[in-house]
């Protein structure tokens, strides 16, 4: 088990306004410059949907992750309440064993950095597990709506027969008897892991400032190499072991990767939370509409109105399911890319340190 930080206190959460492309708000900075006056009345329109599809959905890594997740029997795991540890091993890369091996070899150099890196790898793995759970939820939602989709496609709404009405009411009763597959917005599904990332981000920031101060101390601006700065701006010539400088630079590189990706993953979790909440509410709206129709009785006019109402929501429901599935897939790839980046920095420092020892 990876060594980790103690659980943080509850942190306030501000929902992210969701669009087709999530807005990963950068830390506060200077205001943007005022827009330039248009040289002509014509304006240029950028198709963000097309740009997003070209930049993300058409990449080889996205297609490969779709292939992996599409081959999984997600509903079998859901129906039999099985662990999805086997699925986790298929989507998580680098895997846990590879990470643990590298971390154990780096523990002797810096315990604090070891703990921070361990936490990042553990929290990113937990996020992958959460995304797998959400992927199973999407599969359950598609199964729930499959009979409704069939009714909307095959039954002539404007010329319903009594047998049609009976079939529709039968399927409506089944739909309402099934639980909403999406967690409630107040279920705090995402709060725990988000709080972990928030606490980790604060500790990474503190450790990075400490490392940056050390680097500044041994590499003062406008000073001779291997000099230290003292009060009044004077420089004192001193011997600074090159290994110390190289080590601090390697630590800073690892901290920067972990800090940046901690922010990115927390933002992705905000986006997932927003989408899941919206889908939960959409399912509840459909259940309320169906229950109202069931209470009114099985007559042609009631069935027609219900089918028309569901038809209006049908396209939006399908779009949001597709969007959530895409976001989960991109999150898998974001996690794997971030783990690879951090592991690469750790292994690079180990290789460099080993070469230094052999040369001495």
Domain ranges of the chain: 91-182+192-359
pLDDT in tens, 6-43: 444 433 333 333 343 444 444 444 444 444 444 444 44
Binned at pLDDT 50, 70 and 90, residue 204 comes out as very high
For residue 2, the model assigns a pLDDT of 53
The gap from C-alpha 185 to its chain's centroid, in whole angstroms, comes to 17
Q: Which of 120, 154, 118 is nearest to 338 (CA)?
A: 120
pTM, full prediction: 0.79
Phi and psi based region of residue 226 (left: phi greater than 0; alpha: psi -120 to 50; beta: remaining): left
Helices (H) and strands (E) in the chain, counts: 10, 2
pLDDT in tens, 91-109: 999 999 999 999 988 776 7
Burial readout 178-204 (b: 16 or more C-beta within 10 A, e: otherwise): eebbbbeeeeebbeebbbbbbbbbebb
């Amino acid at each position: 088990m990876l060594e980790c930080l103690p659980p943080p206190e509850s942190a306030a959460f501000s929902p992210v306004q969701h669009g087709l492309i999530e807005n990963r708000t950068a830390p506060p900075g200077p205001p943007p410059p005022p827009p330039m006056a248009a040289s002509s009345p014509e304006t240029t329109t950028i198709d963000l949907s097309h740009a997003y599809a070209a930049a993300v959905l058409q990449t080889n890594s996205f297609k490969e992750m779709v292939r992996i997740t599409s081959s999984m029997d997600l509903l079998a795991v859901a129906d039999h309440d099985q662990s999805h540890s086997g699925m986790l091993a298929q989507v998580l890369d680098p895997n846990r064993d590879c990470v643990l091996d590298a971390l154990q070899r780096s523990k002797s150099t810096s315990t604090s950095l070891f703990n921070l890196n361990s936490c990042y790898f553990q929290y990113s793995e937990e996020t992958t597990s959460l995304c797998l759970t959400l992927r199973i939820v999407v599969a359950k939602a598609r199964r729930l709506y499959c009979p409704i989709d069939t009714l909307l496609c095959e039954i002539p709404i404007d010329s319903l027969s009594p047998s049609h009405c009976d079939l529709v009411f039968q399927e409506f009763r089944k739909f309402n008897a099934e639980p909403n597959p999406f967690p409630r917005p107040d279920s705090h599904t995402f709060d725990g892991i988000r709080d972990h990332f928030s606490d980790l981000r604060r500790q990474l920031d503190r450790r990075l400032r400490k490392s940056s101060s050390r680097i500044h101390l041994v590499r003062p601006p406008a000073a001779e190499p291997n000099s230290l700065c003292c009060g009044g701006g004077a420089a004192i010539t001193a011997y600074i072991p090159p290994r110390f400088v190289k080590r601090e630079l390697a630590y800073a590189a690892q901290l920067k990767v972990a800090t940046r990706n901690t922010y990115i993953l927390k933002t992705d979790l905000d986006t997932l939370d927003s989408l899941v909440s919206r889908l939960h509410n959409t399912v509840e709206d459909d259940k309320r509409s169906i229950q109202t129709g069931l209470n009114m009785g099985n007559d042609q006019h009631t069935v027609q109105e219900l089918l028309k109402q569901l038809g209006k929501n049908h396209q939006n429901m399908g779009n949001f399911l597709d969007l959530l599935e895409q976001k989960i897939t991109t999150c898998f790839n974001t996690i794997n890319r971030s783990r690879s980046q951090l592991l690469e920095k750790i292994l690079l420092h180990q290789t460099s340190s080993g070469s230094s020892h052999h040369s001495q």
